[in-house]
Structure 1
Amino acid sequence: MSTHGGDAGHHSRGGPVRSPRSLLAGLTLISLAALALWLTRDLSQGTLYAMGPAMMPRWLAIGVGLGGLALLISAFIRTGDLLERWSLRGPAFVILAILAFATTIRPFSLGWISTPGLGLLFAGPLAILISGYASDEARWLELLILALGLTAFCMELFGDILNLPIPPFPNTFPELFPADWSQKAVLRATAAILACAAVILVILTRHRAPVRVDVADNSGRI
């Protein structure tokens, strides 16, 4: 009787860890959650009616930690994949996106380097566009649509609904609108413009011809 070599190796893995990839992912998520909880330890959480600056990151960290715990447990219960060779492209672009967001959303200064506060209006799309290239399948137009739509949603959620102290745009940006407009009115108009731009791009690109891909036939010729 013959058996498939891949299946035999998959089921004959020794030791208590049955899924090394799940184990590493779980430990990573738990570590990130613990770091977030530690960094927000001195911030006020507030209530659901008056949210403090620690409310959202703290509960997000708890959710990430619970997800990591589930992965950690599954690593000892369910057979999964082995660790593969790592690529630095993904972590490099994600870290670069985080740094770009942190140094542009508010005024930043480090020695002779300084950046103006661009607010969520510019820092959000910049971070999304950079992080999107963590995948080698990134397409700039699709990333642009995502950046416009997601930034509009975040501006409405954090700035209008939750009233979190996140700068939505540069200080001089409201000067482009009528002088009697409040900051909330400017924020809503800006979010609407971004959302409309995303919808227009979706409509314009919906009927684009797909990229032709040559597939080998049964004879092996391309």
Structure 2
Amino acid sequence: MSTSDESPGAAGRHGLVRAPQNFAGGLLLIALAALALWLTRDLDQGSLRAMGPAMLPDWLAYGVGLCGLVLLASAFLKDGDALERWSLRGPVLVIGAILAFAITIRPFAFGGPSVPGLGLVVAGPLAIIIGGFATPEARLRDLVILALSLTPFCMVLFGDLLNLPIPVFPQALAGLFPADWSQKAVLRATAAVMVLVAIAVFFAGRGRTTRTVDVADHTGRI
């Protein structure tokens, strides 16, 4: 009687699709890229000298779609992991982060309730923190540092260097700066303050020592 070393899951991957996870991931990335291109179909591409609002999202969509095609091709060429059970935590929080960004970056009204436009300075960190908790390993301090570092970069890139019409500040924030400051000066000052706060949070957390627990006995066994 002969025995086989292959598990049933591994044997099932010798069919046409050898890496089900790659196959599903590739289809999802291609679908996201197609959705992004469809949503930005009416926006102007512009040129490299004067970038339009559709240039960056379109090229990002092309990159995501290309990654999806690579994953899809690898699913037929190389053995990979089978699909596993997944929880709703990730999709719900990621979708929630996108909705929070869309609702807060510009004025939003839904029937009676309304949200004032808070701009990228609020919508960016909010989306990063909410989306970051999609993984159980996320820590609030790390997400705050990431949010206060990535948002200023986006502010300077889109609002200063590329001059894209993206709302950056809530209207109430403009009154905190001298009246003779330009919008770009206010943007740079706000970005600098956010970066300094991120650095302060980073160094404040380094002083805390984490207690390690040794679970091995003297014989070296766990």
Q: Report the counterpart of residue 160 of structure 2 in structure 1.
A: 160
Cα distance change on mapping 1:5 and 1:14 into 2, 3 Å: closer
Cα distance change on mapping 1:10 and 1:187 into 2, 3 Å: same
2:204 matches 1:209: no
**Does structure 1 retain, via aligned residues, the 8 Å contact 2:9–2:82?**
no
Root mean square deviation, CA, Å: 2.1
Return the offset for 1:207.
Answer: 3.0
Cα distance change on mapping 1:95 and 1:220 into 2, 3 Å: farther
Return the offset for 1:113.
Answer: 2.4
**Does structure 2 retain, via aligned residues, the 8 Å contact 1:158–1:166?**
yes
Helix, strand or coil for the counterpart of 1:157? helix
Which amino acid counterpart does residue 159 of structure 2 have in structure 1? G
Helix, strand or coil for the counterpart of 2:59? helix
Cα distance change on mapping 1:166 and 1:217 into 2, 3 Å: farther
2:40 matches 1:50: no
2:94 matches 1:94: yes
The structure 1 segments of at least 4 consecutive aligned residues displaced by more than 3 Å after TM superposition are 1-6, 211-222
Return the offset for 1:203.
Answer: 1.4
Cα distance change on mapping 1:219 and 1:97 into 2, 3 Å: farther
Q: Which runs of 5+ in 2 are unaligned?
A: none
TM-score (norm 2): 0.93
Deviation larger for 87-96 or 211-220: 211-220
**Does structure 1 retain, via aligned residues, the 8 Å contact 2:101–2:127?**
yes
TM-score (norm 1): 0.93
Aligned residues: 221
1:45-73 deviations in whole A, cap 9, x for unaligned? 00011011100000000000000000000
Q: Which runs of 5+ in 1 are unaligned?
A: none
Q: Within 1, Cα distance between the matches of 2:114 and 2:219?
A: 60
Where in structure 2 are the equivalents of 1:1-222 lying within 5 Å? 4-6=5-7, 9-10=9-10, 13-213=13-213, 215=215, 217=217
